[in-house]
Structures are given as C-alpha cells and as structure tokens.
Amino acid sequence: MTESPFLRNPYVPGKPVSPLLFIGHGNEIETAFDQILSRGHLAIWGGSGIGKTSFLEMIAAPQTWTFRAQDPTKAVIVLLSCLGVSPFNAANFWREVFLLLKEALTDEPEIQKEVEDYLDRQTASKDNLRSILRLLGKREKFLLLLIDDYDVALQPNPSYTEQDAANFLSDCRNLASHAKESQYLASIVTSLRRLNEAGIKLKPGESPWYNHYLFQPLKPFNETDAAALLGGLPLTPALKDGIRDIADGSPALLQVAGYLLFREFRANRLPDPDAFAAEFQRATEHYFEDNWNFSSETEQTLLMLLALTHLKGRLLKKRYDLGDTDVIFSQKERELRDLEERGVVIYQVKEGKKQYRFASSLMEWWVIKEIENSDEEALQARQRTFLNLMSRRQAETVTSAIRWLWQNKEEVPPILAWLGKITSALSIGFM
C-alpha cells in the first residue's frame, strides 16, 4: 500500500460527532421527537462520553427534522451547556438563554428586538421568557431548549445556594408545566446521573421538581453500532476483539481507538503497542475519572470490589481473599444496573449466574490505581459504606485486601497486562 496523506481521519476523539457521522440511538431520537412535538420535556442521562452532547447537536440539526418530515423552521432552537454558564446561577443562565435566543431569531426580527431589549435592560428572566413564548406562539412557532450538563444546575456553588437551586428548578418546572405559555415550549436536558439521583434532595412533602420529565437513558452502543463506527478500518478479528476489550460500546473510547488506528493505517505503519497504550490512556483518562467521581459511595465500593476480584486473577499467586462477593453483587442489582446503563460495567450470564465485569479493561486498571493511591484515612471513611454492603467480617477481609495492595504495589501487573488483547493484536497489524 502506498502512503496516502490526503485521506482525512474520520474519527473525532474528544469532540461531539457531526450529525452527518452520528451513529445509532434511533429509538432515543424518536422518543425525543415525540416529546418535542407534544411540547413535552425529556431528561436524558448517560455516563461520561456516552454521547449526550452529540445527541443534542443531532436533535438541533435541520436534516434530522426534515428526515422525519418535520419543519425545522417551526422550532426556535437554543442549545447551551450549563458548564458554559459561569458561575452558574439563575440570572446567568437566563441571560445565556436570551443571548442565544437573539441569535436564533434572525427570521423573526420583531421578537428578536424584544429579546434584545430585555438583554439591554438586564431583565432576561424566566418571567420575561414567558412573554417571548407568547410572541412565538402567535407566529405558530415554539422554543426548543436543549440544555446540556444539567448536573451543574443541581449543585450549589459559592454564587448559587441550595435554596437558589431549589428555586431555579421549581421555576423551570412552573415554566414547563403550569404556565399558559408552556404550550410553546419543549425541552431536553442531559445529565450524568438520573435527575432524581443527582444533587438537590427534596424536602419532606415537596413535590418533585423533575416530575414533568420523561426519563430516557442514553446507553452504550450495541455491537452493530460499534462495528459501524469502526467500519472504515480493515480490522482483523483479533483487533476487533482487542478494541471490544478496551472500549466495549463507549462511543468516546471507540472514537479514540479509531483515531489512533486510522492514523497508523493511513501511514502504512505497524502500530506500536506501547505508544498506542500510552496515547489511548492519555486521551481517555478523563472519562474514567468522571465516571468514578460521579458514582455514589456505594457504586464506588462495588467498582472497587469488582476490580479487586479481577485483580486476583491477574496476580501470579493468589494473594488475598475477598470472601463471597457474589452475595454482595446479587444484593445490589439496582446500583449495578445503573452502572451498566452508564456504560461502566457489563454482565454476562454464566451457568445461570449474572457475572459483572468492567466495560473497559482500562477502567478496571484505573480503579486499581485509585485504590493504590488512597490512604488509611480514606479507607476509614469508607467503612460505613462497607458495612451497609456486607458483614463486619467481610468488611475486614476487604479492608485487609486493600492494605495488602498498598504494601505490594510492585505485584500489580503493568498497564499493558490490562491491554493484553489489543497489544498482541496490534503487532500483527491490519487485514
């Protein structure tokens, strides 16, 4: 093969994918349109890198509407990320909405002028948005709010108290379901966790601020979608297997793997396993970190148990005992299902029993590093969670296993052992 420098790398690691290259999620898009067309509200949640931002951009693209015989000009679309509202508070949020609304209203100069006046008078607010919605309604249009990273709105910060957050969320709910103008508004929000599990606790007797949403998880790719994403590469069966081992159905991890492999393929080079491992790790670390940080204490403990169980199999000799972890896993089905929906773990049924493992072998390595880097104080802080999950004796067994790991770090195999499948496949190269 001759080198072909003009072949563009079609993979976009770390960037939302363009609607033209968007793969899968057909059912979720249909659900989104059902909600939009009935002026409803949808809450999408999914793990880090599962494709939430790409999904919103797909919904905002005119061709997605025309493909469904819908007129995109009926919707005035405002897409924003709460991460971009800094510091997050209600005033800054509504101001950002009005700024984007102004840009989106080039076809409606009169309404655009109204929006501009509110901005000039610094009165961009939920109440004034109601007047804008009425004006849109008169033109037989509606506002579609696409709000990314809604987790931020659920977390207090120095300029946003818990009470501010409660007020903001209840304002949004009133706007969406009680105001007369709600017939001219549809919205989709995305978050890393289900809204009822993320941030802001309800006070007794308070009706939930998230009642008006239809909930929809954005799940990892199935095999067909994962294969479609890698379709442009001449992969050997061993390489396909190796990629599944490190990325499973995570669009983010697949994009990184695809990008690195395509680069080598285009240059007609045999991929270097060490360089691949180092680059893959560097480009994906933050997804693992987010998945860890956005897990509850119970989920983190389950991930630690899972990693320690598998590490045992990777050590040369059996060095510690964890007791019967299957009992613990079988009692925490709900948490494990949640981790599965977020693309962190997957399960297989073996001999009639559900067996969990990490979706990415690198996430498993990452959790082992997290355990290695923790200390006695952190371990003590986890004891309560341990005791909620297991007997005192078993908690002691797990605690000893963790202490063993601290003292025997050199026995933990290097990262390449976790990437074993892909590294051996890489040295054979492409089809």
Q: Which residues bind ligand ATP (CB under 6 A)?
A: 12-17, 22-25, 46, 48-54, 229, 251-252, 255
In the complex, what is the shortest distance from the CB of residue 198 to ligand ATP, in angstroms, rounded to a whole number? 13
Q: Which residue is nearest to Mg ion (CB)?
A: 53
Please name every residue paired with 214 in a beta bridge, in sequence order, or none if there are none: 42
Q: Which does 13 bind (CB under 5 to 8 A by kind): Mg ion, ligand ATP, none?
A: ligand ATP
Q: Which is nearer to ligand ATP, 29 or 379 (CB)?
A: 29
Cα(178)–Cα(145) distance, rounded to whole angstroms?
17
Interface with Mg ion (CB under 5 A), residue from 45, 46, 48, 53: 53
Residue among 307, 390, 398 nearest 345 (CA): 307
Report in angstroms how near the CB of residue 342 gets to ligand ATP at its nearest.
10
329 binds, among Mg ion, ligand ATP, none (CB under 5 to 8 A by kind): none
Instruction: Tell me whether residue 163 is exposed, middle or buried, using C-beta atoms within 10 angstroms of its C-beta: 0 to 12, 13 to 18, 19 or more.
Output: exposed
**Distance of alpha carbon 103 from alpha carbon 96, whole angstroms:** 11
**How many chain residues are in contact with Mg ion, going by CB under 5 A?**
2
Residue 23 partner contact from Mg ion, ligand ATP, none using kind-dependent CB cut-offs of 5 to 8 Å: ligand ATP
Supply the minimum distance, in Å, between the C-beta of residue 359 and ligand ATP.
14
Q: Looking at beta carbons only, is 53 or 309 nearer to Mg ion?
A: 53
Q: Write out 350-406 in H/E/C secondary structure.
A: ECCEEEEEECCHHHHHHHHHHHHCCCHHHHHHCHHHHHHHCCHHHHHHHHHHHHHHH
Which residue, 50 or 172, has its beta carbon nearer to ligand ATP? 50
Q: How many CB atoms lie within 10 A of CB 344?
A: 29
3-state secondary structure of 136: helix
How far apart, in whole angstroms, are the C-alpha atoms of residue 342 and residue 360? 12
CB of 53 to Mg ion, least distance (A): 3
Contact indicator for 357, 306 with CB cutoff of 8 Å: yes
CA 12 to chain centre: 17
Nearer to ligand ATP, 108 or 225 (CB): 225
Q: Which does 291 bind (CB under 5 to 8 A by kind): Mg ion, ligand ATP, none?
A: none
As beta bridge partners, residue 304 has: none
Instruction: State which residue has the least CB distance to ligand ATP.
Output: 51
Interface segment toward Mg ion; rule CB under 5 A; list 46-54, 122-130, 301-309, 355-363: 46-54
Q: What does the alpha-carbon distance between residue 3 and residue 13 come to, in Å, rounded to a whole number?
A: 23
Q: Which residues contact Mg ion (rule: CB under 5 A)? A: 52-53
